[in-house]
Amino acid sequence: MANLALFDLDHTLIPTDSDHEWGRFMVKKGMVDAENFARENDRFYADYKAGKLDIHAYLIAMLTPLAKYTRAQLADLHAQYMHEVITPAIQPVAIELVKQHREAGDLCCVVTATNEFITRPIAQAFGVDTLIACEMETVGGEPHGAYTGRPTGTPSYKEGKIVRTEMWLASLGKSWSDFEHSYFYSDSHNDIPLLEKVTDPIATNPDDTLRAHAQAKGWRILELFQPS
């Protein structure tokens, strides 16, 4: 029987935060007011690390600038972002970790609090087709409809990761009990709810709060790479 392998993305599979880096990229490309947005981007990132992020306010701040562009324009910008920022950061050890689960026949999914626009191409770079990420409202339908700049659905953040994962499993006619082993790799204390849910929680490059929690629980700690 195949197992379930769930992966957080930022600071787990990649040694950076794709959301924060996209914000910096938008500043660099003149997509947003540089001074105000950079300050807000840094504040939101600090709130996330402190576990007190207002996910709805953050999503609106990150998604609003995208509404000014067509999907084709955004695809070109994201390709630049991948080339300049993300691809150089991807490390072979992380690719190999995901590959091991894929070759074992495990059901693999990236579960991230970062929005789907930023993260889908990154998940695909790891060979993972299934992505659970914060969803974005469109007008005109997928895949070419314009983004409105507003989030939709349940954010995949904290307990929302459990909600969204269970919705996905249900869509496949599955539940947690269908898997002998369910793995979740994450670096963040924000992900403790989902880590508590799986049979095999793996604190991966953990922050200090998660490291202490993992040690107290006897969880496996994986130092996949040294964060940059």
CA–CA separation, 27 and 41 (whole Å): 10
10 is catalytic: yes
> Both tokens of residue 140?
């005109």
CA–CA separation, 214 and 192 (whole Å): 9
Strand partners, 7: 110, 185
Report yes or no: 71 and 144 within 8 Å, Cβ to Cβ.
Answer: yes
47 is catalytic: no
Calculate the alpha carbon distances from 93 to 19, 109, 184 in Å.
Answer: 22, 18, 17
> Both tokens of residue 59?
């999503």
> Both tokens of residue 116?
């789907």
Active site residue: 10, 19, 106, 187, which one? Answer: 10
Active site residue: 8, 19, 106, 187, which one? Answer: 8
> Both tokens of residue 195?
């880590």
CA–CA separation, 116 and 186 (whole Å): 18
Alpha helix stretches (DSSP H) within 50-125: 55-63, 71-81, 92-103, 116-125
End-to-end CA distance of the chain: 37
| Residues belonging to the active site | 8, 10
